[in-house]
Amino acid sequence: MRPIIYALLLFLSISTNTFAYSRIDYTKKWEVKRFINHMNHEFGYKKKYLTLIFKKIRKNPNITSKKSCKTPLLKKRVKEGSWDRYRRIHMGKDHINLGIAFMKKNHKYLEKAYKIYGVSPEYITAIIAIESYYGDNCGKYYVFDQLVHLAFSKHRRKEFYKSQLEDFLRMCFKEQIEPRRVKGSSSGAIGLPQFMPSNYPLFGVDFDGDGKIHLSKPADAIGSIANYFNKNGWKKDEPVAIQTDFKGKRFYSLKTGLKYKYTQHSIKLKPKGYFKYKREVMIVKLSKAWSDEVWFGTDNFYVITRYNHSVYYAMAVHQLAQKIKWRDFNSKKQDLF
């Protein structure tokens, strides 16, 4: 009886929302018919079920009632550089305070991740902060509908999104998740770590041992992020970045970014503070309103950019992680007295 009950519940859940959204029947497209046949032949998924869910695709998958993390407003109208604005959005007081609370609540899994994968707790926490605001902003789109639109429209990356759609459906069937209920980003990223569906089989980890990988759960998100970093070359207890002694206004003397590496003795810049790192470094420039900050980036900094290829993103993760670590250390210190 269970399959019949499940089918009825599924039908009711789809029918109930029919009037809330305008629907499009994608089964009329030859590409979708071929995709359904492919999923049936390759993985044994029922054509009847696939046809049902492709028949009523929400015309607008945007969940307008979903709360989102708003950009902090400035009290005064002041000039901002690109780094000033990026930092303000991703490194507010709430990001730090909630990060400390997240680390305390999930210390068991964060310590386990550090032991197995060598990734420090504060960096995993910072990723979750920036990607999903600790789970409060995991996305405002119905992922299945959004991926269908992207995969079977005139989008220039439609083949990429078609593969993401396949991986998404395989994930849902494996974990017994109803695909039409999953929410995520406009590009189909899901859960606390905002993994694309193709990352799920490569890096997803059942970290709490319940037999399922649910990226909306802190434990599995923590293990999966740590696994992602580890497989991309993270080195345990090695530095990530350090500011240099550059004192000018704007930095133009050397090429900056991920493509260029320098031995430290070959350039005039020196690290500000203790920096136990002998390998080549990248030079990272942060453009503020009136001047530039110049940093050294290590191999671990590069690993963070595998999660998001922006140097600003990687620097925000690093600086937020250090702020969370420092505040967490001081709060523990105060508890002792």
List the catalytic residues: 131
- The Cα 161–Cα 233 span in angstroms is 27
Is the Cα dihedral 150, 153, 156, 161 positive or negative? positive
Angle of CA points 41, 45, 46, to nearest 5°: 105
Angle, helices 143-151/158-175, rounded to nearest 10 degrees: 150
Angle of CA points 189, 190, 193, to nearest 5°: 95
In this structure, what token pair is assigned to residue 87?
A: 């930092």
- The Cα 13–Cα 181 span in angstroms is 9
Residues sharing a CB contact under 8 Å with residue 124, sequence separation 6 or more, in sequence order:
110, 113, 222, 225, 226
CA 12 to chain centre: 32
Q: Which amino acid is at 252?
A: Y
Contact predicate 284/310, CB 8 Å: no
- The Cα 277–Cα 125 span in angstroms is 24
Q: Helical H runs in the chain?
A: 2-16, 30-43, 47-55, 82-90, 93-105, 107-117, 121-132, 143-151, 158-175, 199-203, 218-231, 299-307, 311-335
